[in-house]
Amino acid sequence: MQRWVAYAFISMFFAGFTSVIAKKGLNDISSDLGLAVRTCFVFAYVLLFAAWVVPSAELQALTRRNVLWLALSGVTTALSWVFYYKAIKLGEVSTVALIDKGSVVVALILAVLLLGEALTWPKVAGCSLIVAGLFVIARG
């Protein structure tokens, strides 16, 4: 198995835990406060991780273009988290998490249009199944 595939599965595992743990942490507080607290911990953990694994010489390779794209990614991440937390506060985590995975379809379309990634039949079939699943969930 290629390393990136293993990383993707590990990410999937932790993301599944994240939603359930977050829902438990939102008891008796607003989703906005919960997100703010969680984000402080994410920031601290990621900063410590980067300090540990990123060679200081790599900072010189950072360009304005890198910072711009990463800043835009930060904005979209923040917006995604704000609405995700509002959704899990009000709804069932199992349903919200499934709907959230519709982001795979958005990512596929943007990857093809903006990054020039190949659109293959397996990807189209997989995304079609995700969309079909979203319709099943939305009606349930």
> Looking at the domain assignment, is residue 28 inside a domain?
yes
Range ranked top by mean pLDDT from 55-59, 64-68, 90-94: 64-68
Q: Is residue 70 within 8 Å of 46, Cβ to Cβ?
A: no
Q: Which two tokens stand for residue 111?
A: 């990857």
> Looking at the domain assignment, is residue 33 inside a domain?
yes
The pTM of the full predicted model, rounded to 2 decimals, is 0.86
> Looking at the domain assignment, is residue 25 inside a domain?
yes
> Looking at the domain assignment, is residue 111 inside a domain?
no
Q: Is residue 39 within 8 Å of 81, Cβ to Cβ?
A: yes
> Looking at the domain assignment, is residue 113 inside a domain?
no
> For position 36, what pLDDT does the model report?
97
Decide if pLDDT at 138 tops 90: no
> Looking at the domain assignment, is residue 139 inside a domain?
no
> Looking at the domain assignment, is residue 129 inside a domain?
no
Domain count along the chain: 1
Q: What angle do CA 115, 121, 125 make, to 5 degrees?
A: 105
Domain, as residue range, for 62: 3-100
Using one digit for the tens of pLDDT, what is the confidence trace for 92-116?
A: 998 898 899 899 999 999 999 999 9
